[in-house]
Amino acid sequence: MISNNNRQNYSWKYSTVGVADGYPPRVQLNQIIRVAASPGHAPVTEPFDQDGNVNFFHLLSNSGMYTPGNIQRPMFHHKPIKREGEDCYPAMYFHSNPYKTDRSVKPWTDILLPDEGYVYYNGDNQTPGLPPTGKRNSGNSTMEKIWPEYQSKEREIRERAAPILVFEQVKYGKDGKIKGYRAFRGYGIISKIEIRQEYEPKTERVFSNYLFEVSLFKVPPGGLDWSWIYDRRNPNLSVSEINKKAPKAWKDWVKNGYAAIEKSRQRILHYKVSKPKEQVEELKPAHRKILDKIVSHYPKSTDKGRFEALASLVAQEYFGEKNYLRGWITKHSGDMGVDFIGRLKITNEAAPNPPGTVLGFSKLLVIGQAKCRTKYDSNSAAEDAKDIARVAARLQRGYLGVYITTGTFKESTQKEVSIDGYPIVLINGRQMADLLIQHNSRNEISMDKILSECDKWYYENKSDEPPLNILRRE
């Protein structure tokens, strides 16, 4: 049993999984679940193990109120409940073990893509001579029974559909233990079924099996409220009541069916951010030499416009001179966060392009913002999200933003651009210097000459014409 000291630790762990006042917890995406070797090793009466991980037996049984099920099977489920005369399965549990490589036991490898919202589960039949349904009461036979509920066009039938809860065997702790630990990868529905055939390893007899595509739905930020699963196991609740505590994504699917799958699909955006300090540490002597020359050439705020001309050249170098057209510098009195205008042509020069038509290419309007930070290697030189927001506010369909600075970008700024999916290119001081080094090398021109030519370009290319005009230029 667990000591009082450990119970205090459990209480703290309780709050971290989103439950402060009682059980069941809200299970977070990728949260580690303890699956003991036997109920005796981790008693059903204890909600957590000694490390504070949720006890799978306790979670599935609600401290003995329900039977936990055969949790060692790749796919198992709770006993169906009669609701309004029809069987209603509370939930299906899918467990994938990527460390099991014995093909005589597991001929096919399951594929989990939780970040993209997909799971591909190979069923449990591998007996030659049997249909893919397999043996009686197999996971395949159950999945075949409930498949019509996921495909139904009637809301009343979709309400009965069992959520498929996905777990994956993971390594845990300093020793990298494999047995006994699973991570919660999400929940969803069967969205597609295929039949596959393979040779039985020993006899080379052919057997058939199902391949199930599971579409994962969004897990709420606070985690999956497990009381939803307990409600689905409560025989006293009607079909219309069992999904009241379901996540919004599930409710949307129940309401709208197939049309809601993509909207409800779980997608986890990965982004790699760099701290301003790390961006400064990347500066080599060659970068500093160019940045020093730039900031000394534009020492005053009144030089802002001339620097924008240089930023326009950097944008051209980034996108490629062949497909990028430098437009003009906007008038500063009403630029609304846009310093320069450009146009990017999207095309494949190697592809046939009939003359006199619009086939084979498209044009994007590029709006640019430029910042010359005198102290480019200080914390104050990091661009804030509010600066990016001015560019983002001007974006429309067919627009692309580019933000160029001699300084750095804050982590929060990079995250916001990535998470919100803004079509904005961020170019910091290091990248700017690299692009200018590239321009210098290709054109055999000095940095002083570049700055001089950009000053001249600035005075010759100031305009207050509408940005969209650049799309009409040849």
Higher pLDDT pick, 119 / 61: 119
Q: What is the pLDDT of residue 59?
A: 86
Residue 412: band (very low, low, confident or very high) from pLDDT cuts 50, 70, 90? confident
Q: What is the DSSP string of 316-343?
A: HHHH-TTTEEEEEEEPGGG-TT--EEEE
Residue 54: band (very low, low, confident or very high) from pLDDT cuts 50, 70, 90? confident
Residue 39: band (very low, low, confident or very high) from pLDDT cuts 50, 70, 90? very low
Residue 7: band (very low, low, confident or very high) from pLDDT cuts 50, 70, 90? very low
Residue 302: band (very low, low, confident or very high) from pLDDT cuts 50, 70, 90? confident
Q: What is the pLDDT of residue 421?
A: 76
Max mean pLDDT among 24-38, 137-151, 182-196 falls in: 182-196
Q: No. of H helices and E strands in the chain?
A: 14, 21
pLDDT tens for 243-280 read 999 999 999 999 999 999 999 999 886 667 889 999 99
pTM of the model: 0.57
CA distance 297 to 322: 28
Q: What is the pLDDT of residue 47?
A: 81
Q: Is the pLDDT at 240 greater than 80, yes or no?
A: yes
List the alpha helices (DSSP H) in 274-384. 276-281, 285-297, 304-319
What are the structural domains, with CATH classification, of the chain? 4-264 (2.30.280.20), 276-472 (3.40.1350.10)
Q: What is the pLDDT of residue 3?
A: 31
Q: What is the pLDDT of residue 268?
A: 81
Give the residues across from 325 on adjacent strands: 343
List the alpha helices (DSSP H) in 23-94. 56-61
pLDDT tens for 333-348 read 555 678 999 999 988 8
CA distance 206 to 130: 10
Residue 45: band (very low, low, confident or very high) from pLDDT cuts 50, 70, 90? low
Q: What is the pLDDT of residue 331?
A: 79
Listed residue (328, 321, 332) closest to 342, CA to CA: 328
pLDDT tens for 131-182 read 667 666 667 778 888 899 999 999 999 999 999 999 998 888 777 777 788 9
CA distance 72 to 53: 18
CA distance 377 to 337: 24
Using CA atoms, how far residue 331 sits from 108, 296, 390, in Å, is: 64, 24, 16
